[in-house]
Structure formats: structure tokens, C-alpha cells
Amino acid sequence: MLPLLRKGVDARIVNVSSGVGSLTANADPTYPYHSIYGPVYPASKAAENAMTLAMMIELEGTDIKINLVSPAFTSTALNNFAGTESIEDGSREVVRVALLGKDGPTGTFTRWEDTTIPW
């Protein structure tokens, strides 16, 4: 995919992560999800965040924008539809970041509505 993105105009990568993958947040004992940090879902999201950072560093000299977003606790089969957000609500930040203009930011980790999540 990268060769095609390099040829594109306004190319971007938007990775869907989760706030539970934030190492900064999870290192704080007062973080609400601190006690559930474990080697499966939260750690896999932290690994995704690390891979996203590696891509950002690799592509620093290009016009390709790379951002992470969290759809929040979206109701999906992954959580047996226990999520508090609809698919539409969970998609909002993904779409917003995907449609950022040429001068939009890169290297961000956000949730709706443009709220920063610590890496």
C-alpha cells in the first residue's frame, strides 16, 4: 500500500486504536482502566500504537499523514454489543481524521471530538 500512498495526493493513514492502549494513561494508578491492563487487548493496542509511531518516524520526510484514533467503547461483536457508543458515533473520529485537509495535523492520537489521548 505504501507505494500507492507515496504517489497519492493528500495521502493519510488512520489507525483505529483504543485509549486502553495508552501507556501513559495506564501507568497512572488513578486511570479507570489501569487495573484491567493485560497482555491481550490493551497490550495489543499498545503494540499497534508503537507500530504507528514507527511508521510516523519512517515517513517523517513525506507528505503522508499518520494518525491514531479511538472510537471509544463502541457496541460491536468484540464486546458482545455491550459498548455505550453506536457504530455511527464510534466512526465519527475516524472519518473526521481521514478527511483532515492538506494542512491537518499528523502524529495525533484522538477520540471524538478531537480530544487528545496520551500516547
pLDDT along the chain (119 residues), means of 10: 91 94 95 90 94 95 94 87 89 93 92 88
Alpha helices in 1-119 (DSSP H): 2-7, 23-26, 41-58, 87-98
Residue 3 lies in a domain: no
Residue 19 lies in a domain: yes
Residue 70 lies in a domain: yes
Residue 93 lies in a domain: yes
Global pTM value: 0.87
Total structural domains within the chain? 1
Backbone angles phi, psi at 111, to 5 degrees: -125, 170
Strands 115-116 and 12-16: unpaired
Which residue range is the domain that position 24 belongs to?
Answer: 12-116
**pLDDT tens per residue across span 32-49:** 989 989 899 999 999 999
Residue 5 lies in a domain: no
Residue 6 lies in a domain: no
Determine the pLDDT at residue 76: 86
CATH of the domain at 77: 3.40.50.720
Beta carbons of 46 and 23 less than 8 angstroms apart? yes
Residue 46 lies in a domain: yes
